[in-house]
A and B are shown apart, each in its own frame.
Chain A
Amino acid sequence: MADVTAPPLRPFPVAPPVVPDAMAASKPYVANEKMQEALGFPGSLVDDWHDRAISKMGELLGNYRSLRVYLDACVHCGACSDKCHYFLGTGDPKNMPVARQDLMRGVYRRHFTVAGRLFPKLVGATELTKDLLDDWYKYYNQCSECRRCSVFCPYGIDTAEVTMAAKEILDTVGYGQKYSNEIIGKVHRIGNNLGLPGPALEDTLLGLEEDTKEETGADVKFPLDQKGAEVLLVTPSADFFAEPHVESLIGYAKVFHQAGISWTLSSHASEAGNFGLFIGNYEQMRTIALRIREAALELGVKRIVVGECGHAWRVAYSFWNTLAGIGAGADDPFARLLQSQLDSRYRQPTHICELTWDLIERGALVLDAGANDHRIVTFHDSCNVARASRMGDTPGGQFEIPRAIVRAVSNRYVEMRPGTTREATFCCGGGGGLLTDELLDLRVKGALPRMESLREVADGQGVNFMATICAICKAQFTKVLPYYGFDMSMVGGVHQLVSTAIRLGAKS
C-alpha cells in the first residue's frame, strides 16, 4: 500500500492548485476470476476489450437518458471543478468532476458523435487505448458517486451516473473491482455483505438481547425470521457487530420495544446495502433488491423499515418501487402482489428515522436528553440520503428529521459550517465502493473537507460527537478520524444517541 498521508487542513477553504497525476498511482485491487464469474462477468480482461467496451457503451447510451444527455450537455464551464472532495483533498485534476466525465466523454465523442469523428482534436475526442482504460479504472475508482457535483452543475450533470456506466463497462470487459464484486458475491451466496451466515446472526442477536437486558433490565428482543411480525427491518449487516454501528441497532430495538411494535429481521435479506448501485449494474441491483421483496412476502409483514445506511436508503427510497415493487401506486400484478399486503397508511419503505420521529412527535417514547449531556453533537449529512432521497412529506425532510431526533435526545447540538452540510454536504470519503484498505490514502485525503469543518466546531464549540446515519460513513470515519488527530469514537449513529436517551420501563 502506498503511504497514507493526511493533507494539512487549509486555513481558508479555497480550491487547491492543480497537481497533474497526483493520484495516478491510486487504484483498487482487480477482482479475480472467481469473483467476476460469480456475477456473470468475464474472469479477466478479454482480448477484444476495446470493441466490447464500445459496444457496451452504445448499449448504455440507448438505455440511460442520463448518460446520453450528460455526455452531450457539458459546456466545460468549470462550475463543478472545485466541488469534489477528492479533488480538494488531492489536487489531481482528473478528480475534478468534469475531467472525470471527460475520460469517458472523449471516447463518446470519438465513437458516437459527428464532430468527434470528423474533428477529434478540436473537440477533445480520444480513442479508448489501454492507457485510457487504465485511467478509467483508476479515476472512476476515485469517485464515491456522492452527487455533490450534480448539485452545482447548471444542468445537474451527475458524475456518479458516468462513473457507474464506466464501472459497468469495466466489468463487462473483465476489469472489475475486487472490493465491490466480492461483496456482491457474498450477498448472493450468504445473504449479506459481511458474509455472516444465518446461525451466526442468530447467535449475535441473542448476545445483544442479553447485553441489553443487562444494561436496561428490559426484555428487548432482536427477533429473526418471525412470521407475522408487523415490521421487517432491513439494515446494513455492519449493524450486527461493527462498532459503533451496533449501538444504533440496539437503539432501533429499544424504539420498537417501547412503542410496542412487533418487528423482525430476516436471514434471507440480512443486508440493506446494495452494491449493485455502486457498479452501475441494473440487474445486480434488481436481484439484490428482490431479496427484500421475497423476505417481506415470506414473512407476511405490513411495513418495511430501513436502518441507518446511506446508499441503502437511496436504493430503498428511490429504486425499490421500480426494482421490486416495494412502495405504492402500482397497477401491475407483480407490484400489486406485495403492495396489497403492505399497510398503505405508512410510507413504504420507511426510514428508521421517520419511524422514530413519528413516535417522538406522538409522545410515544420516553426520552431523557440529559443522558447525552456528556456529548456535544453535530450531524454529518450522508450524501446518498442528502442528495438522492427524502424523508417525510416535504423536500428537505432528510435534513430536518434526523436533526429533529438529535435535538430531541440531546441538549447540546451544533451545526457545521454552511456549505458543508445538507445538500452541499461533503462525502465521508469512503462511499461508492471505495471502503477498502488499499484505497486508504485516497480515503484519508477525500475526508479532508469534512475534517476541516469538524475541526472548526470541535475547536470552537467543543463538539465531541458526530452523528450520522450511514454504515459506510461510520466505518470510514472510524478509520480516518485518527489521521486528523481526532478520537475514532467521535462518530456514531443517530440511534446510538436515541439508545442512550430512551428510558425503558418508564412506560410500556
Chain B
Amino acid sequence: MAAASVLFAALFYAATAVLVVGLALRIRLYAGTPAPLKIPTTPAPVTRGGVAWRLVREVALFESLFKASLWTWLFGWVFHAALALVLLRHLRYFVDPVPAFLAFVQPFGILAGFAMAGGLAGLWARRFLVDRVRYISTPSDHLMLALLLAIAGTGLAMKYLAGTDVVAVKSFFLGLLALDPQPLPSDALLYAHLALVAALMLVFPFSKLLHAPGLFFSPSRNQADDPRERRHLAPWAARLESDRKP
C-alpha cells in the first residue's frame, strides 16, 4: 500500500481519537463543574420538559440568534443546516449497504454543499463589513471559516471538476472501521479534502467549536425556572452550611 494511504489511515485514527477523547474530557469537565445558583434567562420554562423544548428550539432553529440579528441568523442557520445535511450524506462512506433514506438525501446533500459555502461566505463577509464584528474577530475566527470553506470547496471540486474514485474512498473508510486499512486513491484534491477534515477534527475540542456541547451546559438556557419550589444547592455551597448552626 502506498505511503500516503498509510499516512491518511494513521491520521484519521489519530484525529478520531483526539476528537472523541478531547470532547469527552471537555464534557466531563462541564458536567462536573457545579452551577451553584439558579440563573436561567427568564422568562424560562418552569419544567424539565419545557427546558428540553427550549434547547431543541435553540439547536434546530437558533431561536435567540433569530431575535438578535436576521443576517447572522440567515447565514449561520443555512450554514449549519447544510453542514448537517452534508454530514448525513457522507454517512454513505461508512455503511454498506446504503440504507434507503441515505440514498434519498444524496441530491439534497449536493445542494447543501453549495448552501454551506454560501452561508460561510456570508458569515465571513460580516467579519470584514460590520465594524463591530471586525473589531472582535481574531485570526482563528478567520482561519476557522477558511478551513470550513476549503473543505466545502475541495469537496465540490471533486464532485464537479475532477471526479474521484468514490468506490475506492468508501472501501478506504470501511477498511478503517474494520481496522483493516485499504488503499486510498491517489488524488491531490482528495488528499487536500481529507487532510482539512482531519484538521477540523483535531482542533474541535480545543477551539470555539466547543459551542456545540457548550449550549447544552449553559445554565442560562438549561435550567428550569423553579427556585421557589425546589432548593438548589451546589456541594461546595452546602459545605458553607455544615459549619453553621441552623
Q: CB of B136 within 8 A of chain A?
A: yes
In the bound assembly, the distance between CA atoms of A74 and B137 in angstroms comes to 12
In the bound assembly, the distance between CA atoms of A154 and B66 in angstroms comes to 9
We find that the number of chain A residues with CB closer than 8 angstroms to chain B is 83
Q: CB of B68 within 8 A of chain A?
A: yes
Q: CB of A223 within 8 A of chain B?
A: no
Query: Beyond A113-B206, A122-B138, is A395–B211 a contact (Cβ under 8 Å)?
Result: no
Question: Which residues of chain A from 53 to 83 have any CB-CB distance to chain B below 8 Å in the complex?
Answer: 61-66, 68-70, 72-83
- From A145-153, A204-212, A225-233, A464-472, the one touching the partner chain is A145-153
Pair A73/B65 contact, Cβ less than 8 Å: no
We find that the number of chain B residues with CB closer than 8 angstroms to chain A is 67
Q: CB of B179 within 8 A of chain A?
A: no
Task: List 6 A-B pairs, minimum CB-CB distance, nearest first.
Answer: A73-B214, A152-B68, A156-B220, A395-B43, A79-B68, A124-B138
Pair A156/B64 contact, Cβ less than 8 Å: yes
Other than A78-B126, A113-B206, A122-B140, give 6 A-B pairs with Cβ distance below 8 A: A77-B72, A99-B136, A123-B139, A158-B41, A282-B36, A318-B39
Question: Which residues of chain B from 118 to 149 have any CB-CB distance to chain A below 8 Å in the complex?
Answer: 123, 126, 130-133, 135-141, 143
Q: CB of A298 within 8 A of chain B?
A: no
Pair B67/A317 contact, Cβ less than 8 Å: no
Residues of A near any B CB (own CB < 8 A): 15, 17-18, 61-66, 68-70, 72-83, 93, 96, 98-99, 102, 113-115, 119, 121-124, 147, 150-158, 161, 282-283, 286, 317-319, 321-322, 325, 327-335, 337, 347-349, 386-390, 393-396, 398-399, 423-424
Q: CB of B217 within 8 A of chain A?
A: yes
In the bound assembly, the distance between CA atoms of A142 and B244 in angstroms comes to 36
Chain B residues lying within 8 Å of A151, measured Cβ to Cβ, are 41, 64, 67
Task: Select A156's contact among B41, B126, B130, beta carbons within 8 Å.
Answer: B41
The total number of A-B Cβ pairs within 8 Å is 233
In the bound assembly, the distance between CA atoms of A331 and B138 in angstroms comes to 49
Pair B39/A74 contact, Cβ less than 8 Å: no
Min C-beta distance of B58 to chain A, whole Å: 7
Task: Select A115's contact among B43, B206, B218, B241, beta carbons within 8 Å.
Answer: B206
Q: CB of B10 within 8 A of chain A?
A: no
| Contact flags B35-71 to A (C-beta < 8 A → 1, else 0) | 1111101111110000000000010001011011100
Q: Tell me the nearest residue of chain A to B132, going by C-beta.
A: A81
Chain A residues lying within 8 Å of B221, measured Cβ to Cβ, are 155-156
Q: CB of B163 within 8 A of chain A?
A: no
Q: CB of B101 within 8 A of chain A?
A: no
Pair A389/B42 contact, Cβ less than 8 Å: yes
Task: Select A321's contact among B68, B217, B218, B232, beta carbons within 8 Å.
Answer: B232
Chain B residues lying within 8 Å of A334, measured Cβ to Cβ, are 241, 244, 246
Pair A73/B211 contact, Cβ less than 8 Å: yes
Pair B68/A322 contact, Cβ less than 8 Å: no
Chain A residues lying within 8 Å of B232, measured Cβ to Cβ, are 321-322
Query: Beyond A121-B139, A322-B237, is A388–B39 a contact (Cβ under 8 Å)?
Result: yes
